Amino acid sequence: MRNVLAVVAAFALIAVVLLFSHFFLKVTPKPADTSFNNEFSLVLKDYAGNDVHLYQYRRQLIVAYAWASWCTYCADEMQHLASLKKTYGDKVQILAINRAEPLAAAKDFTDRLNTGPDITLLLDPGDAFFKSITGYAMPETVFIDSGGDIVYHQRGPIDMSTLEQKVKELVH
């Protein structure tokens, strides 16, 4: 009988603590980091093997797109990004950042897309960019304003109308 009373008392105490913490302790979650400034320190590679310092894109409007050849959505989305680059020209920089695949795999994929020089194709051998944006879906699209702030982060596929709307908002 004593054991039963002890168990009931323990459950009652846990219930009181949970109710108290739910109603009286307001824990404000830390807001997500909306600055892209840490990512500007990353050094990626272009297809020729040259270092590309992301800081060279500071103070510019950027759409950074994390992709991989195995991503089922990436081919269509990269072609949409190339189309938007043609529309907006130098007003926006499109950085298509490959997720740690060998050059041959990345180049074969993008050659088949025929995006041409419209978007900047970069390699990230250590997957540092994806990790820095706490990526967990594929693809990931980050819209960065000229002040270095992330104004929108799409995790997973993005439809063409949303892509167009977000680029238009970024540019205007």
Domains of the chain: 39-171 (3.40.30.10)
**In terms of Cα–Cα distance, which of 43, 33, 38, 67 is closest to 138?**
67
Task: In whole angstroms, give the CA distance from residue 100 to residue 162.
Answer: 27
Task: In whole angstroms, give the CA distance from residue 141 to residue 128.
Answer: 15
**In terms of Cα–Cα distance, which of 50, 36, 35, 40 is closest to 121?**
50
The sign of the torsion formed by the CA atoms of 66, 47, 118, 169 equals: positive
Helix (H, G, I), strand (E, B) or coil at 126: coil
- Top-confidence residue, 31 or 48: 48
Residue with tokens 């310092």: 53
Determine contact, residues 121/109, Cβ cutoff 8 Å: no
**Does the predicted model carry a pTM greater than 0.85?**
no
Read off the pLDDT of residues 81-134 as tens digits, 9 standing for 90 and up: 999 999 999 999 999 999 999 999 999 999 999 887 889 999 999 999 999 999
- The one-character DSSP state at 149 is B
